[in-house]
Amino acid sequence: MDVRYEAPETLQAAVALLAGATGPAKILAGGTDVIVQMETDLIEPSLLVDIKKIPELRQIAFENGGFRIGAAVPGMDIMGHKALAKAWPGVLDGVKLIGSIQVRGRASIGGNLCNGSPAADSVPPLIAAGAIARIIGSKGTREVPVEQIPVGPGKTSLASDEIIASFFLPARAPHSGDAYQRFTPRTEMDIAVVGVGVNLTLDKGGTCTAARVALGAVAPTVLLSKECADALIGSKVDDVALEKLAAAASAACRPIDDKRGTKEYRIKVAGVLAKRTAQQALEVARKS
Amino acid sequence: MSKKYHITTTVNGDDYEYLCEAQQTLLDVLRDELMLAGTKEGCATGDCGACTVMVDGTMVCSCLVLAVETDGAKVDTIEGMANGNELHPLQRKFLELNGSQCGICTPGILIAARALLERNPDPTETEIRYWLAGNLCRCTGYDKIIRSVQAAAREMRGA
Ligand code: FES
Ligand code: FES
């Protein structure tokens, strides 16, 4: 196997390399999935395009009251960003659960998303947050909601010459909060049996005016559930609303049986975890 | 013949130049080309932390880094931890308190523990356990590792 490695310094150069590839090409960000897949012969790329030398992919910047996070920023850098932690604690909780500290020294949210795992921990909170991915390809730039990127396990809607450059997290309305919780048998170094991201906004009286709920590891892709959101919107996120949310979360699941849990188990846990996560998001919103 | 990449790097402060193929990991190059076999391979899939090294001050699994990515980088491995014949306090405490048994996990744990103590000279037991969550040990049951790290931290603080 002869692999060619390139580390372009601009997005245009990276896209040109991908567009001109004659064999299988792979984008290399933190490499914590790609290198394992190469080592275990799951993939045999003939071209690796390392995007970490492209400055805009390595930055976290304020933009229109929100944040733009470069797709290749390592998890540890995201976790160390104080303003981001304050505005989007749920997104940071998702990032915090990706692998070990060693892994987060390299792993990025762009990679976590493009690896296409339905159990990827940063994806439900990003979807709940309404994050928009900026995608650059030979045909130009497109802005795509994160939930439209995974299309199945290991598969994304990106064309072969497209790269996710960054994610935009919008400005926060007052009294907004987000949270991410996952259920795993171990506290660390594990893969979600179920993961739930909740993002909600309250009005002055404490009524929920907007909500987004994303469910991980319970379907071939992370799900954005309108039914779950509808259970919360218009309520005070009281017990009745939380029960409706739990029922909607369980109903939305299309899980598989695997060594981490059976279908029935995942369906039950999804409901319980959705409630807990919504309560946590509610606490954050009340304090903001 | 496969394409070779020319890499210039420093490892433990020493300059190195070598040729590698794109798919060779930093772990492979350290052990097989640079003959720095102190860094261990437990899994080669990022799960065990035995291969932990520092690259430009960031703690990483060297099995999850390609050698080509480290051109121009500063790498620190277990071989650079002792100062000549003088062991680092962490190394000494691991010896004294049996923080190491078979030793496969030890280099990675020492590198990770040093990185922790540089950030936080007085970590709680819980902080140590979470920080070392990516370093698996099949022998010690972790307790002796935690006690060794705490003892070294105490000594390094002069407490
Ligand atoms: S050998 Fe690198 S993490 Fe196990
Ligand atoms: S001492 Fe044997 S694996 Fe830790």
CB contact under 8 A, B135 and A100: yes
**Residue in chain B lying closest to A41 (CA):** B23
Most confident of A37-41, A199-203, A250-254: A199-203
pTM: 0.94
As a three-state string, the secondary structure of B92-129 is HHHHHCCCCCCCCCHHHHHHHHHHHHHHCCCCCHHHHH
Looking at the fold, whether A14 and A65 belong to one and the same domain comes out as no
**Residue A5, both tokens:** 């490695």
> pLDDT confidence of A1, banded at 50, 70, 90?
low
Distance CA A209, CA A201 (A): 6
Q: Which ligand is nearest to the CA of B42?
A: 1
Read off the pLDDT of each residue in B74-103 and give the average, rounded to a whole number.
97
For residue A144, the domain's CATH number is: 3.30.465.10
Q: Which of A169, A203, A218 is the last residue of a domain?
A: A169
Residue B52: which H helix or E strand, with range? Answer: strand B52-55
Q: Residue B1 — pLDDT band, cuts 50, 70, 90?
A: low
What pLDDT does B149 receive? 98
What would the pLDDT profile of B46-60 be if each residue is shown by its tens digit?
999 999 999 999 999
- Report the atom number in ligand 1 closest to the C-alpha of B134: 3
Question: In A, which residues are within 8 Å of B47 by CB distance?
Answer: 189
Q: What is the pLDDT of residue A259?
A: 79
Domain count, chain A: 3
- Are A75 and A160 members of one domain? yes
The backbone torsions φ and ψ at residue A196, rounded to the nearest 5 degrees and listed phi first, read -130, 130
| Gyration radius of chain A over CA positions | 19
Q: With an 8 Å Cβ cutoff, is B58 touching chain A? A: yes
Residue A204 has pLDDT above 90, yes or no: yes
At A42-91, the pLDDT tens digits run: 999 999 999 999 999 999 999 999 999 999 999 999 999 999 999 999 99
In which band, very low, low, confident or very high, does the pLDDT at A246 lie, cut at 50, 70 and 90?
Answer: very high
Specify whether A161 is located in the same domain as A116: yes
Q: Are residues A254 and A211 in the same domain?
A: yes
pLDDT of the residue at A189: 74
Determine the distance separating the centroid of ligand 2 and the alpha carbon of B99, expressed in angstroms: 9
| Superfamily name with CATH number, domain B89-157 | [2Fe-2S]-binding domain (1.10.150.120)
pLDDT for residue A281: 98
* AA letter at A77: D
Give pLDDT, residue A193: 83
The per-residue pLDDT for range B60-85, each reduced to its tens digit, is 999 999 999 999 999 999 999 999 99
Whether the CB of A102 is below 8 Å from some CB of chain B: the reply is yes
All CATH 3.10.20.30 domain ranges of chain B, comma separated, are 5-80
Residue numbers of the domain that contains A162: 58-169
Of A260 and B26, more confident = B26
Specify the CATH number for B5-80; select among 3.30.460.80, 3.10.20.30, 3.40.50.2300, 3.50.50.60: 3.10.20.30
| CATH label of the domain that carries residue A217 | 3.30.390.50
Residues of chain B with CATH 1.10.150.120: 89-157
* Residues A156 and A183 reside in one and the same domain: no
Say whether both A180 and A117 belong to one domain: no
Strands A163-169 and A132-137, bridge-based pairing: antiparallel
Could you give the CA distance from residue A274 to residue B22 in angstroms, rounded to a whole number? Answer: 44
Instruction: List B residues 98-117 in contact with A (Cβ-Cβ < 8 A).
Output: 112
Hey, is the C-beta of B69 within 8 angstroms of any chain A C-beta?
A: yes
A82 with A154, same domain?
A: yes
Q: B129-149 pLDDT, tens per residue?
A: 999 999 999 999 999 999 999
Nearest-CA neighbor of A211 among A90, A93, A105, A103?
A90
Does A143 lie in the same domain as A204?
A: no
Atom of ligand 1 nearest to the CA of B40: 1
